[in-house]
Structure 1
Amino acid sequence: MDPVDWFLSPGERGNPSTRLDRRHVAGRAWTEGNLVTPLVHGAAYFGALLEAVSRMGPGDLLLFVDWRGDPDERLTGTGGSEVGTLLADAARRGVDVRGLVWRSHWDRLSFSAGENRHLEEDVNAAGGECVLDMRVRTGGSHHQKFVVLRHPDRPHLDVAFVGGIDLCHSRRDDAGHAGDPQRQSMAAVYGPRPPWHDIQLAIRGPAVGDVETVFRERWEDPQALSRSPARWAGDTLRHDRPHRRPLPLQLPDPQPCGPHPVQLLRTYGRRLGGYPFAPRGERSVARGYAKALARARRLVYIEDQYLWSAEVCSLLCGALRRSPELRVVAVLPHQPDQDGPVSRPPNLVSRARLVKELNAAGPGRVAVYGVENPHGTPVYVHAKVCVIDDEWASVGSDNFNRRSWTHDSELSAAVAHPGYARALRQQLAREHLDADGDLALDDHFTAFAESAAALEAWRQQPSAGPRPPGRLRPLDSPDQSRLTRLWATPLYRVVYDPDGRPLDLRLRRSM
């Protein structure tokens, strides 16, 4: 296969202001020769991160970006492995630690303003430099989650961690799905220790330089970190008006070390004043999916926190109509993460509409499942994964919704390589099916359907015998009344899934 067929060209990215593509040779918008390792679940990622950071020493560079950071989250469950301790200790050893953490909305709205500020304070007190970044559209967030480790004297240790896992509570779970003892508040259906399904990538090779460039573009943006006078006043009273020090010169990219071509896909909304590196925003996440889905012929496998919006539905329905043999399998959370009377219905209404339209476009070729752990507790699916025909796979911070495709900042790593894509899909399938061995591409749809049917039958009559293997069940989709749909639909479109495109692109319905 040729990555040209799957990846965006610089022109197709649609953002000539970024240096992300200009830094490549021969007009490519990606790198070759990388080694990409999926780290499924927070426990695997946190353990790898702790080990890698612990090896860093004076003169090394650590860059991290996060949506939420809890400084007391224990990366391995033991004392001394806390996120704040790890980063602060690195700074005290002489590592140049820099962080960009979203300046979150208020905690009273179920966000993480306090936690993010405490992480900033811990890092800065130790000699690092972490800032709270609110340079987003109104109502938006910096949703990227990545870490870059560079070693001037030991470039073979350079690595970038990219995906959807925040350095915070509830993320440290594993395939057993007993949940993280350090939990965040979630809907009651997920229990006292919410099980959590997620994924991050460890990237080695030249693509590390690309991930670092994403950080540098944001760090070097000269605009104020917040436009709010109230926030300026509060920062002044706390003596917290940081002046960002220039970053050291960027090192040469790490040498090739593997077989994987990697393209970084991003979202930046069109905001007042613009980003210097994306004056009209960037929507390469959406464009990357559009190009890849146009080639889909056999199976689109999705794991995602959300699956909604007309734009997402249009691409998937178009793929189903073009390819009569194509099947779509999606693994989603059974229920939204919050169960309030206002927050829950917009999630369910928008998801139900999209699933109905997909089934109409491909009758009998669309299947949507939720996951539960061996004790029957629903697992919250926070992963953001898409594998197409075992040839192209994307893992990142972006969800399958308009907010992630146009509005908030996002970062995803796409790999066009059959061995990688196939292995990733099979690894995820083995967990959901409680099965060993490899699952062939053309058997995936049927294997998931049979496993979910068996578990659902057992749940209806558990006295019939032991619980069958597998964790998949048909998605919980409680009906919403017509009155609920009337108020929840506009709320979903305006608040939960806003549009961050420039006006001309909205009018043309183009990304």
Structure 2
Amino acid sequence: MADIDALRKKYFVQPDDTSPPSEPLPATFGGCRVTPLIDGGTYFADLAAQIAALGQGTPSENSGQFLYIAGWWLHLLGGRVNPSPSSSGASTGPSVGLDNPFSLDGPGAPNHLVDLLKAKAAAGVDVRVLGWISFSVMADYFVLTASVQNGAGSIRDVNVGTMGSIRELRKAPALADKACLNIIAHSAGAVHAKMVLVGNGSTAIGYTGGLDLVGDRHGGQPHPSRTWHDVQAKVEGPAVQAMYDLYRSMWNELKARDIRSFRFADEKIASHTAATPVVPARTLPTTAVGKHHVQSLRTVPRFNYKTINLLPENKKISFAPDGLFEVRSAWFNAVLTAERYVYIEDQGFWSVEIMIWLNQALKARDDLKVILVCGATDPNDPHFPPYANVALFKGLLHDLNAQQRGRVRAFSRDVIVHTKSTIVDDHWAVIGSANAFRRSLYSDVEHAVGLLDEEDLLVQQYRVRLWSDAFGLLAPADQQKIADIDQALNVWNSAWGTPGSGVVLPSAVIPVPLPSTPTVLSEKDQDKYDRYADVDSREAWGGCLP
């Protein structure tokens, strides 16, 4: 057994780690069981089984059950949504799997989730759906300046798909007031959390991570080129209470707001209705179900505006009027305490601040290794300037000596790496919706879970499975070849660790040269970064573009 008290003191956020110090500590729980679900196929199958078990009794018997969904993008109907020219635009990007209605069973499969949600609601299950929409970008039906349109077109497409999903769900009487557009975000931010909560009346499960309910998110080993790779955490035990409370806070925050309407095709879609019911307070079971320890981590933005703003302003979020930056505090603490390695798998590395933490950790530890893994560009994203090169050189590399630079490696896989996860020392990991972006630390609404284990096995086992996904190791016996961290590090770089695993880096994992000179953004690209792409809500935001 590990010394869990020592692990918690070292890797979990403590009172002197929060920023600012007045910020409350993240909710921390023992007695949990966390299962990292690698790739959409694994997550969706697990979720499908939990949903299938709901609603099997009479409506009265089912009344204690609930199914709560929150997503950044809900593309439940599939296909291209083509509203009339006077409305907000068309969805979607060119991804495989978006043509058909979304099914947890796979692209093109029957048992569409939109129909399943209607059926469970009709059976008496308390089904609720929160789909984010940018109240600011969509507020004037997308009649915006060209400069904003160039940066916000992909958001429009995402939001239109979500609006179509919410409109369809509301056709079911039991969901007419329980399918809502989430409008509580910062003007240049999003509600990026991707959570599902399932309660059967006696137990509850929470899911959090990088996966939205969108048709191209299905994926799994062996990965064909340019398919989706992601991770969702399944949380059981006392920590689900904090996830439930966050969902309840977001829902009831929306309920307290004025109703806003957004044009979709030939009608207007309201954010919610006057009859939308609050999410009730529930005390979920606290019985210990495992030996995992969890910190439930949130990002909630501040609302700090300049005098004149191109986009409309939003109100402060009442349950965190000064913002909450728990994801930032947890990430910072774990990276700065790292001794052996830091592994970050993310869709991009834009945050100069996170790179500075890695820089400091490399200087503090003579043998620390840093591995950064990303992948092919998400086909739904617009083209972005080289923000990662700016952060890598300015934050991570610029003043490292040769020995320190030799302990940093970056790689790109030939799949769409959408994971938002960091692993430190085989002891601590975080899985959630927060990217290695500035906006994820300060401006979007995010959720993640930080993990430790009394037996100190969970994170090591998760690392083995995640790296096996990259190395193409399908059989359990082959995966155990990288159980030893020194032999596993040697696969990433032959100058590291200890040889002997017999595993070689596959051709689908490509070393990425690290920048050796600074990248300077144009004034236009820097403005886009600060104002729209990667906002810091602590800074006064707004103003008008020329």
**TM-score under structure 1 length normalisation:** 0.81
Task: Report if aligned partners of 2:67, 2:128 keep a CA contact under 8 Å in 1.
Answer: yes
User: Which blocks of at least 5 consecutive residues in structure 2 are unaligned?
Assistant: 56-61, 77-100, 143-151, 304-313, 496-503, 541-546
Give the distance between the partners of 2:281 and 2:392, measured in 1 at CA: 49
Q: What is the CA RMSD across the aligned residues, in angstroms?
A: 3.3
Distance in 2 (CA, whole Å) between partners of 1:311 and 1:379 is: 27
Q: 1:170 to 1:318 in 2, by over 3 A?
A: same
SS in 2 for 1:135: coil
1:312 alignment partner AA: I
Deviations along 1:47-86, whole A, 9 cap, x unmatched? Answer: 1111100101222111111000111212212543322122
Where do residues 311-460 of structure 1 align in structure 2 (5 Å cutoff)? 311-335=353-377, 337=379, 343-347=383-387, 349-350=389-390, 352-353=392-393, 357=397, 360=400, 362-371=404-413, 378-417=414-453, 418-435=456-473, 436=478, 437-439=480-482, 440-450=484-494
The residue number in structure 2 matching 1:251 is 283
Q: Percent identity?
A: 27
Give the Å deviation of 1:487.
4.3
Q: How does 1:40-79 map to 2 (within 5 A)?
A: 40-57=38-55, 58-59=62-63, 60-71=65-76, 72-77=101-106, 79=109
Alpha-carbon spacing, 1:32–1:352, altered in 2? closer, same or farther (3 Å): closer
- Partner of residue 118, structure 2: 88
1:161 deviates by 0.8
Residue 235 of structure 2: which of 189, 203, 206 is its match? Answer: 203
Deviation, structure 1 residue 12: 4.8
Q: Which residue of 1 aligns with 2:214?
A: 168
Amino acid at match of 2:117: L
Q: Which moved more, 1:344-353 or 1:53-62?
A: 344-353
Q: Aligned residue for 2:92?
A: none
Q: Higher helix share goes to which structure?
A: 1
Residue 171 of structure 2 is aligned to residue 141 of structure 1: no
Determine if contact 1:296/1:388 at 8 Å carries over to the other structure: yes
Match of 2:252 in 1: 220
Structure 2 match to 1:35: 33
SS in 2 for 1:500: coil
CA 1:470–1:66 in structure 2 vs 1: closer, same or farther (change >3 Å)? same
SS at structure 2 position matched to 1:246: coil
Deviations 1:214-245 (A, max 9, x none): 101111226765787x7499999556641320
d(CA) in 1 for partners of 2:363 and 2:285?
42
Q: Which amino acid aligns with 1:54?
A: A
For 2:338, the equivalent position in structure 1 comes to 296
| Distance in 1 separating the partners of 2:485 and 2:37 | 22
The Cα of 1:497 is off from its aligned counterpart by 1.2
8 A contact 1:304–1:383 mirrored in 2: yes
Aligned residue-pair number? 457
* C-alpha distance in 2 between matches for 1:61 and 1:384: 27
Counterparts of 1:256 and 1:482, CA distance in 2: 50
Distance in 2 of aligned mates of 1:17 and 1:329: 33
Match of 2:323 in 1: 281
Higher mean alpha-carbon deviation, 493-502 vs 139-148, is at 493-502
For residues 312 and 90 of structure 1, do their structure 2 counterparts lie closer, same or farther at Cα, with a shift above 3 Å needed? same
Distance 2:30 2:266 in 1: 44
Partners of 2:22 and 2:395 in 1: CA distance: 37
SS at match of 2:170: helix
- Larger RCO (alpha carbons 8 Å, 6+ apart): 2
What is the distance in 1 between the residues matched to 2:321 and 2:14?
A: 19
Q: Are the equivalent residues in 2 in contact too, given 1:41–1:172 (CA < 8 A)?
A: yes
Task: Name stretches of at least 5 consecutive residues in structure 1 with no aligned partner.
Answer: 22-27, 180-193, 372-377, 452-466, 504-511
For 1:34, give the aligned amino acid.
C
The answer (yes or no) to whether the contact 2:392–2:515 under 8 Å persists in 1 is no
TM-score scaled by structure 2? Answer: 0.76
